[in-house]
Amino acid sequence: MEEGLFISTIPLGNLVTKKEENVPLNVPLNDRMKYIIDQIYTYKNINVEELSIHFQVSDKTIKRDLAYLKENKIIKHVGSKKTGHWQLIVQ
């Protein structure tokens, strides 16, 4: 051991790790998401603008709902961004 060298041992048992907060699990669909699913079932070419006008919310809000539905494997987007459409995923 070198002179002037200090060695310390830190136990990792109580190590605090980053915890993701506000990430609910199995969140039920809200009324807007249910309506979006219904519209996709009825009119496959429904778009963000039409939905945002109907609900009087921003496009960003509708895109967030669509992303949630996609991440939870309820819907999928088929085709290109410009000419594609949404489909329900049958389980």
DSSP tag of 69: H
| Tokens representing residue 57 in the block | 């919310």
Largest Cα–Cα distance of the chain, in whole Å?
Answer: 78
Q: Is the pLDDT of residue 39 over 80?
A: yes
Using the Cα atoms of residue 21, residue 25, residue 30 and residue 34 in order, give the sign of their dihedral. Answer: positive
Residues 52-76, mean pLDDT to the nearest whole number: 93
pLDDT, averaged across the chain: 80
pLDDT category of residue 59 using cuts at 50, 70 and 90: very high
- pLDDT (tens digit per residue) in 40-55: 999 878 899 999 999 9
